[in-house]
A and B are shown apart, each in its own frame.
Chain A
Amino acid sequence: MAEVKVTDFGQAVSVRNPHGGIMIDGRHVADTLRCCHCGRMWIPVKGSGRKRGFCLKCNDVTCGPQCAGTCLPMEKRLGLVEAGKLRW
């Protein structure tokens, strides 16, 4: 059988401006944030050790080092995908 670990929302932390919310059985258990560059979402977890970032041009959070370098905002990325110049 496959190894699947049920996500533990017990250590999830609330943020001031959440980009989304997760409810289990109708009860709010976690907030989510969305990377302003690639659109990936994550659950902020206290003590996870994951490095996240912040883009000063977008004034918003990024998902990690892979999205922290060049600023390519989501809107620009979508435009490039629609112009056929970039694949997701």
Chain B
Amino acid sequence: MASNYAVGITNGAVTAAACFCGIDQTVASPLRRGRVFELEFGSSITPADNASRVLLQRMSTALPTGGNTSIAGVALDPADPASQILGFTANTGGATLVSTGIVLQVGINMRATFRWVAAPGKEPVIAATQYAGIGIVVSSQTTAYNPDATLMWEE
């Protein structure tokens, strides 16, 4: 039976061309695919009319570096085993962002809390190959600020 996990970050520093909050296949021969079924993006600092361009984008070639790396996913059901796919947040480099792999793109006001939920069976899927990943990328902001994000996935 599938297991569900989450990774998140609060007040994370943004690097435009790097993963802000994502997941990646870290093991050499992964056995399971990952399916992202929910993402949340917002801000918990003093509100203002700033905007962020937020992408859900595929990653490949290597693991994200800098920031917080190889975070074990928090199992939504405590009885589930440790996640095979690991989380990465506030990264500054590493993984190649696949230019043709932008899955979702939205512009979000800092005052708004954005939430996207997939219908069952319609989730973006990451392949069971090493370094296959997907993550939230904040490609640009009107004014730099540190947002919050949560990504949930199924294995």
Contact = CB atoms under 8 A, between A and B. Distances in A.
A81 B127 contact: yes
A6 interface: yes
A5 interface: yes
B132 A81 contact: yes
Given A7-B106, A20-B118, A32-B104, A74 B125 contact: yes
A40 B23 CA distance: 17
Given A7-B108, A78-B127, A82-B128, A24 B118 contact: no
Does more than half of chain B's interface fall in helix, strand or loop, or is it mixed?
strand
Contacts of B141: 2, 4
Contacts, number: 90
Interface residues of A, number: 32
Nearest to A78: B127
A20 B125 contact: no
Contacts of A6: 51, 107-109
Interface of A: 1-7, 17-26, 32, 34, 38-43, 74, 78, 81-82, 84, 87-88
